[in-house]
Amino acid sequence: MRIESGPTTERKVRSTLMLIMFSAFSAWFAYDGVYGYPRQNHEEFLKQIPAEERDKARMGPVYESVRFTESRGHDATADRVQKALLSSSVGDRKKALFELFGGKPSYENADSIHYFGPAYRVVVPLAGGVPTTDPVAGRGQRKDTDILTQKILGGGLALFSTYLIWFVISVRRTRAVLDESGLAFNGIGPIGWDDMKSLDITRFARKGTVDLHYNDHGAERSLRLDEYYLAAFDDIIDAICARKGFENPLPVKDPPSEPVPQQTGES
């Protein structure tokens, strides 16, 4: 007698679908946080530029340092820009913006200088090629907190998806073997036939599980067997109960019906 069992098809399918679903959501959130939401804001900012200049403006850098900050109900970032401009000489105002945001403008034309961030923009009007001290700042439809939330969700779900990869592998490696040496299940055993003491079936009707109590070098232990985990669960339980005389929780199988002989001859 030898019964081998792997995982049920239902469990393999469900665990794989769960991995696919969470991986897809992780990619979706991460895409929106890293690319999608900032791109939507960028397109919104470009609409403030003349149509014939947008392609050129689209090629400019986007700065992580260009972010909205608030202080006592005021736009603190715009206040910092204005302060930097006011404290600089006319000739050094462009340099002050360069140092404040960490690089050259995202776009510049004859009328204004533009700095774009993932969710925030600063526009400094020019007068005769010189930055004025009246910057115009604003946020896009997707706020910094929206972008950060998407990144956090994407990262968290990516970590959970990594765990699910391990889980799917462990599900597919589920293995039980029942033979003359006893029962071996996922690295436990083999549990010898003489060491099998009882079968607790109280949870079977509600949970579909049974607990095999056995002796392990003088210590009493139990092994839970789940019909959802094992494809050959019924065969294994039938064999154990038949050999050990334990109460079998499985429904009694109807014997195959005998074929009805066909009558022949003339009536």
Sequence-separated (6 or more) residues with CB below 8 Å from residue 106? 57, 60, 61, 62, 63, 114, 115, 116
> Does residue 63 lie in a domain region?
yes
Mean pLDDT for the chain? 89
Residue range(s) defining the domain that contains residue 129: 49-141
Instruction: Report d(CA 33, CA 21) in Å as an integer.
Output: 18
> Does residue 42 lie in a domain region?
no
| Span 193-226, pLDDT tens digits | 999 999 999 999 899 999 999 998 888 999 999 9
Q: What's the pTM value of the predicted model, to 2 decimals?
A: 0.76
| Span 32-72, pLDDT tens digits | 999 999 999 999 999 988 889 999 999 999 999 888 888 77
The band of 189, judged by pLDDT with boundaries at 50, 70 and 90, is confident
> Does residue 37 lie in a domain region?
no
If one counts the domains in the chain, the total is: 2
**What's the rounded mean pLDDT across residues 173-182?**
92
Are the beta carbons of 186 and 200 closer than 8 angstroms?
Answer: no
> Does residue 118 lie in a domain region?
yes
> Does residue 147 lie in a domain region?
no
**What's the rounded mean pLDDT across residues 3-22?**
94
Instruction: Report d(CA 225, CA 191) in Å as an integer.
Output: 13
